[in-house]
Amino acid sequence: MFKHKKMKTINAILLVLATATVFPCMAEAAPKKNIGLQMYSLRNNIGRNSENVDSIIIKIGKMGYKYVETANYNEGKIYGLSPEEFKAKLAANKLTALSCHTGRSLAKVVSETNWDETWAWWDKCIASHKAAGMKYIVTPSMPADLSIQDLQTYCDYYNKIGEKCKAAGMRFGYHNHAYEFSTKFDIDGKQVAMYDYMVEHTDKDKVFFEMDVYWVIKGLRTPVELFKKYPGRFDVLHIKDEAELGESGMVGFDAIFKHIGTAGTKYLIVEVENYNFSPEQSVKLSLNYLNKAGFVKKNYSK
């Protein structure tokens, strides 16, 4: 009798192990990390048709992303939807909107900027994205062909936008490409990169920097160097590679995450611009890479 019970117990254990191997979805799932997606990664799938947004949001949620960053704002609408409609569609798929990429450049001749129109545009922009539940508004780029005087005007401009965002309970940031590092100014006989000037001439309480780690490397700098030089300025990181994350070997993600505490980062956003597979598959593979990476914590916002 004892031997019979023992055999039943062993068989039950073997069945559980076999089930977990053959049907991994029935085994305990690995914890998903608090990672978001820049929706620009699926730009060709979305287009400008709000009906496509529904299906894309469903797919992003099923992949395991926790939040999104948008890249389509026009006259109070996000991907052609009211902020409230967009927020509801995300919520239905257990997603939130963390941030957006949008902005308004000053006039080509900066001194000719119509400031009344500019501030009215920003007031509406901030209100719209707040209504969608966002924490951050990020300007994704700016002109490179500026004088040092015009660059200073932009820094003052960003500080003012930052004040407006702060008053609304939000944060304002700037997202880099590579040219902010290659564009340099002669200041007192020293060559100063546009990016360094911007960080040093904006108020850390009003402006953060959404570092795109891939573009930093393409600009011949390193994320870790900038973390140490400007600690606490990088609330959000764009985690990007040549294509899918971890594919090229050119981005030292382990070193980046080792020093992420110095950066002051709270949120990670995946962006994929070039693909070895379909955009959807590439976006999913990139999330898988971070979920499996032992050097990436589950949540940086806590």
CATH topology of domain 32-292: TIM Barrel (3.20.20)
**Amino acid 32: pLDDT:** 87
Domain segments of the chain as ranges: 1-30, 32-292
**Amino acid 30: pLDDT:** 47
Task: List pLDDT tens digits, range 38-51.
Answer: 999 999 888 665 66
Give the mean pLDDT of 212-239.
98
Residue 164 has pLDDT above 50, yes or no: yes
Choice between 6 and 134, residue whose per-residue pLDDT is larger: 134
**Amino acid 300: pLDDT:** 98
3 state SS of 238:
strand
Residue pair 234/221 in contact (Cβ under 8 Å)? The answer is: no
In whole numbers, what is the pLDDT of the chain averaged over residues? 90
**Amino acid 31: pLDDT:** 56
pLDDT above 90 covers a percentage of the chain that reads 86
Task: List pLDDT tens digits, range 19-75.
Answer: 333 333 333 344 589 999 999 999 988 866 566 899 999 999 999 999 999 999 999
10-14, 170-174, 209-213, 286-290 — which is least confidently predicted?
10-14
CA dihedral 157, 100, 96, 169 (to 10 degrees): 10
Give the mean pLDDT of 257-284.
97
Give the list of residues 6+ apart from residue 11 with CB closer than 8 angstroms, or none.
none
Choice between 25 and 97, residue whose per-residue pLDDT is larger: 97
Can you tell me the distance from the alpha carbon of 159 to that of 153, in angstroms, rounded to the nearest whole number?
A: 10
- pTM of the prediction? 0.89
37-46, 82-91, 93-102 — which is least confidently predicted?
37-46
Nearest in space to 293 (alpha carbons), one of 261, 257, 265: 257
Give the mean pLDDT of 262-271.
98
Give the list of residues 6+ apart from residue 270 with CB closer than 8 angstroms, or none.
35, 36, 37, 38, 41, 65, 239, 240, 245, 283, 286, 287, 290
**Amino acid 49: pLDDT:** 58
Nearest in space to 102 (alpha carbons), one of 157, 154, 63, 142: 142
Choice between 93 and 18, residue whose per-residue pLDDT is larger: 93
Give the mean pLDDT of 241-265.
97
Give the mean pLDDT of 138-166.
97
Give the mean pLDDT of 150-156.
98
**Amino acid 50: pLDDT:** 65
Bridge partner residues of 46 (DSSP): none
